[in-house]
A = this chain, B = another copy of it.
Amino acid sequence: MMRNRKGGFGSCTDGKGPACPVEFTLDVIGGKWKGVLLYHMMDSAKRFNEFRRICPGITQRMLTLQLRELEEDGVVHREVYHQVPPKVEYSLTEFGTTLIPIIKLMRDWGLEYQAMQQTTGSQSLGVEG
């Protein structure tokens, strides 16, 4: 029970709906790398190894898994060019573009408070006071 990916029944019912809508959204973009991948696809289609260069921290395995999940969720399109060496491009689907406002807000928030963290010394970026 308590299935995480695509279970349907969230866990947090609260009477406001079938499951918590925020939980539903985080199911799609909440993976460790998904937001980042979507963020970089906003500009233009990206190839597998392009992501690897952009995010040196992600392993091949995780990149594959996260892209596959995004594909399953219908937010990312995978275009295979039958060439050698292989070429595969990932881009947002029409549905995927509905996530852009969220990604942009997350980018903006990150830009603002990431800077703050550097300034204050990376402790509790809080406003406190």
Please encode chain A, from 39 to 75, with 1 for each CB lying within 8 Å of some chain B CB and 0 for all others.
Answer: 1100000000000001111100000000000001111
CA A4 to CA B72, docked complex, whole Å = 26
- Chain B nearest CB from A121 CB (Å) reads 10
Flag if A17 contacts B56 (CB, 8 Å): no
Please indicate the chain B residues that have their CB under 8 angstroms from the CB of A113 in the complex: 24, 98
Flag if B95 contacts A99 (CB, 8 Å): no
Please indicate the chain B residues that have their CB under 8 angstroms from the CB of A22 in the complex: 35-36, 38-39, 103, 106-107, 110
Please indicate the chain B residues that have their CB under 8 angstroms from the CB of A2 in the complex: 57
Please indicate the chain B residues that have their CB under 8 angstroms from the CB of A125 in the complex: 73-74, 95
